[in-house]
Structure 1
Amino acid sequence: MTPAPDSAPAPAPFPDPQRAWAYLPASPLSGAADGPLCGLTFSVKDLYGVAGWPLRASTRAPVPDLGESVLVRRLLDLGASATGKTHLHEIALGITGMNGFGGTAHPFLPERVPGGSSSGAAVSVALGQVDFALGTDTGGSIRVPAAWCGVVGYKPTKDHPAWSTAGVLPLSWTCDHAGPLARDVSTIVRVQEALTGRQVEAQAWAGVKVGVWLPEGWVDGTVQEATHLFAARLAGLGATLEAVTFPDVLDAYSPIVLSEAARVHAEALRQADPGFLPFTLASLRQGQALTEAEVQAAFERRAAYRTRLDDLLTRFDVLLAPAVPTPPPLTGQEEAEVQEGRVPLRRAVLRLTAPFSLLGAPTAVLPSSAPFVGLQLVGRHGQDNRLLGLALGLEGQ
């Protein structure tokens, strides 16, 4: 456990008004010269351990050091070069990008948030500073910033062997996933192919069964229209579509994540004021206060939700759903205005994205017809290449 050092000016190969970068070394970590990812650059969310680079998790509180990330080392061995570390929502416990170093701003709308927790990851990709970014996703932390920054995000099946979380500071080992963001599906597919050694073929949509999950009242008019237009696009390519329902899973998700996050940061929480932002500290204290019975009940609800999702994914090849309830909110905005009224922003976002990290289903986020509004495609567990192939089949059409 090491104290987080003060933020220090870093050599900047490019301007950083968005405060996306947590650490920029004097020179990148170069990948192997003969690897299949040679020529690609990537940023690393500051939860991943990288030899010789600091680990702060965008907080001024002390955090555990879990050693070197298996995934970062693997990508370097495959030829990709690591440019530096990106900021995140403090310790990954949030969806806007706020942290102990000022927070990250949207890449193109400076008064708005980029989404989180992989905020700097999305910004580094959206601005073309790297070819792809490593993020993590516990409740939407790859998918939300991808959606609000207009890029592509991919959350693999939980515990996918190619996307190791070893050497990554956890938030919730039950829900954590490692995954990439990029400006196009093709780049994500290239990384997936290199990591797995298996080719991803572009898939046609003719005959694909799509369940459309658009919960009534949970989104605003812009997101609703974007979802309908995307569904119509799939129908035009020969897919069959049917509306589906799924419950709000936050009664399972929140106790599990908060209780596990409190255990991860237990040593820091022994201090009266460890250095977390007030919301983060209050959330961690809430997790500490949960009883074993309350957490066990949350896991029982999770099991029931998993059965329901499995049933849906038996009937459908993929699900289509909004990734965000509205376009990017203003910095400091605490509520979302959706069709059912004003809802706390965190709740409005997480109830759309948390089901698929809580339950481990592979999910891709693609841009829609509306600026900075992304949509989710959810695949069957373990069928990541099929999901990416379907996403690839849409690219350029």
Structure 2
Amino acid sequence: MTDPVSPTGWPDPQRAWAFIPASPQPGAPHGPLSGLTFSVKDLFGVAGWPLRASTRAPVPDPGVSPLVERLLALGAAAVGKTHLHEIALGITGANGFGGTDHPTLPGRVPGGSSSGAAVSVALEQVTFALGTDTGGSIRVPAAWCGVVGFKPSKDHPAWPTAGVLPLSVTCDHAGPLARDVATVTRVHEALTGQPVPAAPLNGLRVGLWLPDGWVTANVRAALLDVAQTLHQEGATVHSVDFPEVLDAYSPIVLSEAAQVHHAALNDDDPGFLPFTLASLRQGARLTPEEVQAAHARRADYRTALDHLLTQYDLLLAPAVPTPPPAQGQDEVSLPGGPTPLRRAVLRLTAPFSLLGVPVVALPTRTAFVGAQLIAPRGQDDRLLGVARTLERALGTA
């Protein structure tokens, strides 16, 4: 590992960069993404670059990412690898190399697990960043760093997870972060070869998922402002209910993560941070019956979400429960009472990665508070078109 600095040569006080090569990997000339630069979350295999997953423990080699190769062929240049929450198993940015700090609020977390990805975009060190999202790992850092994050539908052919070190093979997604929806859309259009038309807000049926007690007053106000903007633009907005899904999400993710890292778990002290090691060992102890029951609950939640999305074109939800918390903070104060930070965040974001639907995380008019726009599976292009129109209406680009 090098002692990284930013691609511009500036110091890296946020510890966002995991690997900076002597020179970027250039994109093919005259491609649709020529002139754009991107960072790569250090879960993606890149030819000639190391892969550490921001851990001191040994990790499997996933091979070379076809998504990275495709972006290079389309003309974008890869400038380096960014740090993440260790092996992507967390939402703050803690890792075996000191952890990543917020881009503009020292001492605050940037979100995770795609922490360095969001920081590299927020500081304008790259045009866009490649991240992954298993339970909120693109959307949470996008929200807390004030940028845009896109989690495509599960197994979207333009966003493959081959060549990516898995956390949970049934929940992992690959996707981009950028400063605006237009840039995300440009990358998506290049990958799919299809234009994404702008979509009007007028006539949209929007379900507002804003559970009582789950977010702070300023987050609630920010989401209601987005809802009011949608209403002013001609959408209808109605409150909806959806359950917490962590009783399905956590057993599935932890059991699959333990399978990925089973070789390292044979050692008494493989080098993971204590929380990571404890979580992996917890996953390894789950019985087949417990995991099977979690998958059955997941099927029930999928049926419920599919039914909800027949009644509404989109869902609007908070991406985070609070503004960025302090480094080392394990609990947040919410109207519903003190809540462990991990649960407070994941219960808002995990449903949509567990169930594989596309989501865009957008900045709101309140700094470092993001909103999620959720669409039915396969409606990624329509979602991006709506998100771009809403972004313009909010004036956040």
Identify whether the pair has TM-score above 0.5, normalized to the shorter chain: yes
> Which residue, 231, 236, 240 being the options, matches 2:232?
236
CA distance in 1 between counterparts of 2:377 and 2:111 reads 26
CA contact (8 A) 1:10 1:25 kept: no
Q: CA deviation at 1:333?
A: 0.3
Residues 11 and 25, structure 1, Cα contact 8 Å, conserved in 2: no
Q: Are 2:2 and 1:8 aligned?
A: yes
TM-score (norm 1): 0.98
Q: Which of the numbers 362, 366, 379 marks the counterpart of 1:366?
A: 362
Alignment of 1:104-183 (within 5 A): 104-183=100-179
Question: Matches of residues 245-394 of structure 1 in structure 2 within 5 Å?
Answer: 245-394=241-390
> 2 CA distance for matches of 1:136 and 1:146?
12
Equivalent residue for 1:226?
222
Task: Give yes or no for the alignment of 1:17 onto 2:13.
Answer: yes
How many residue pairs get aligned? The number is: 391
- Whole-Å separation in 1 of the counterparts to 2:229 and 2:205: 14
CA contact (8 A) 2:358 2:376 kept: yes
2:89 alignment partner in structure 1 = 93
Deviations 1:73-114 (Å, cap 9, x if unpaired)?
000000000010000000000000000000000000011000
**Distance in 1 of aligned mates of 2:340 and 2:22:** 41
Is 1:190 matched up with 2:186?
Answer: yes
Matches of 2:273 and 2:332, distance apart in 1: 22
Query: Unaligned stretches of 5+ in structure 2?
Result: none
Question: 1:11·1:26 contact (CA, 8 Å) conserved in 2?
Answer: no
Q: Residues 325-373 of structure 1: CA distance to partner in whole angstroms, max 9, x if unpaired? A: 0000000000011111110000000000000000000000000111100
TM-score by length of 2: 0.98
C-alpha offsets along residues 246-303 of structure 1, whole Å, 9 cap, x if unaligned? 0000000000000000000000000000000000000000000000000000000000
1:10: how far off?
Answer: 3.6
Query: What SS is found at the alignment partner of 1:395?
Result: helix
**Unaligned 5+ runs, structure 1:** 1-6
Offset of residue 11 of structure 1: 5.8
What whole-Å deviation, never above 9, does each CA across 1:100-155 have from its counterpart, x for those lacking one?
00000000001100000000000000000000000000000000000000000000
Q: Distance in 2 between matches of 1:143 and 1:256?
A: 20
Give the equivalent residue in structure 1 for 2:205. Answer: 209
Q: Distance in 2 between matches of 1:264 and 1:287?
A: 11
Amino acid at match of 2:57: A
